[in-house]
Amino acid sequence: TRCKDQSGRNVDWFIMYKLPKMQPSKNNFVTPKGGEFVYVDSNTPKTAQTWTLSNQNIFDEDNPASHTLRPLRRPAEDILYVVYNDQPPPGYNGTRSGHCKGVVLFDSSTGVWLLHSVPRFLEGIGSGRYSFPESGRENAQLLMCITFPSSELDSIGKHLRMEYANVYVKGSPQSLLDRHPQMGLLFKDSFIRGRGQDLLVRNITGAGSRRFLSVAKRATFEQDIYAAVLTGLVRNDLVVQSWRNGAGDKLPANCSRSYTVTHADLVKISLPERRSITFKTEEDHSKWAVAVDRPVFCIASMNR
């Protein structure tokens, strides 16, 4: 089980940035209808300075997310899968658990961790088909898939236990749960408790020996994770894109620490031939951060 590219071939990782449904603008050379996406993956040349505008549509069955999640259309008994979302599809109970969304899908040797920002995704598991929620058309969304060896299953399981992920569909052979006890605890809805256990930072290694840093927190960690944790980890200022239209107070830019955290007001997607697509943060439900002076990208689940 591995992340798949636009042609269904294996890749170590990919990012899909789904564009919002937009009105015509002289600043944009196309007018997205909410299904278009730009794309980059582990095979994109390191010298690339732009995204690729895909000719695929996220609502159709021919796209990287659909190819990657194909095993969930008819889950086999020998795969492990965990589907979590704080805003699950219709028919599942809502939650006040961790604000995070994703899919974990593994066989005995390799698997994928697909992190995303899309409410009500994924649905139709076991139905034999792929679907993307119509409610996800209006705003921009981000999906990132990473291929991991099964040796990282415990790290992923502990991460989700710390986040109190709202798991609404799951399945696994007992042998995989026995081999990976942190994932076994997640399957029992056993989350991390206890004083002083409210933040988890771990190095994890994906396919191709690429290293990632996973950061998870509990609700008891009552600080802005961007300013209090991430700036120190990357030792740089951050620009953060997050959904600022929802419940709760918006956090202001933070300039009181060694490193600053500022908000993205506009998102400009650079494309080949000096073309671009620009949209406002109010049209973007994705959550991500970039370091100002270092090549660091973070896909996130928290707003600020």
Radius of gyration of the chain measured on its C-alpha atoms: 19
Beginning with the edge strand found earlier in the chain, give each strand of the sheet holding 238-241 in spatial order. Answer: 261-263, 238-241, 288-291, 297-299
pLDDT at position 9 is 99
Residue 106: inside a domain:
yes
Cα separation, 59 vs 135, in Å, equals 11
Residue 237: inside a domain:
no
Instruction: Tell how many helices (H) and how many strands (E) occur in the chain.
Output: 6, 18
Residue 203: inside a domain:
yes
How many independent structural domains does the chain possess? 1
pLDDT at position 304 is 75
Question: Please, are residues 202 and 121 in contact by the beta-carbon 8 Å criterion?
Answer: no
**64 to each of 16, 40, 87, how far by Cα in Å?**
8, 11, 22
Phi, psi of 9 (to 5 degrees): -90, 155
Domain that holds residue 140: 3-219
Residue 235: inside a domain:
no
Strand partners, 288: 241, 299
pLDDT at position 302 is 83
Residue 135: inside a domain:
yes
Residue 280: inside a domain:
no
Residue 140: inside a domain:
yes
Residue 128: inside a domain:
yes
Going residue by residue through the chain (304 aa), what tens digit of pLDDT does each one get? 999 999 999 999 999 999 999 999 888 889 999 999 999 999 999 999 999 999 999 999 999 999 999 999 999 999 999 999 999 999 997 777 899 999 999 999 999 999 999 999 999 999 999 999 999 999 999 999 999 999 999 999 999 999 999 999 999 999 999 999 999 999 999 999 988 899 999 999 999 999 999 999 999 998 999 999 999 999 999 999 988 765 555 667 777 778 999 999 999 999 999 999 999 999 999 999 999 999 999 998 888 7
Look up residue 13 and give its two tokens.
């990782």
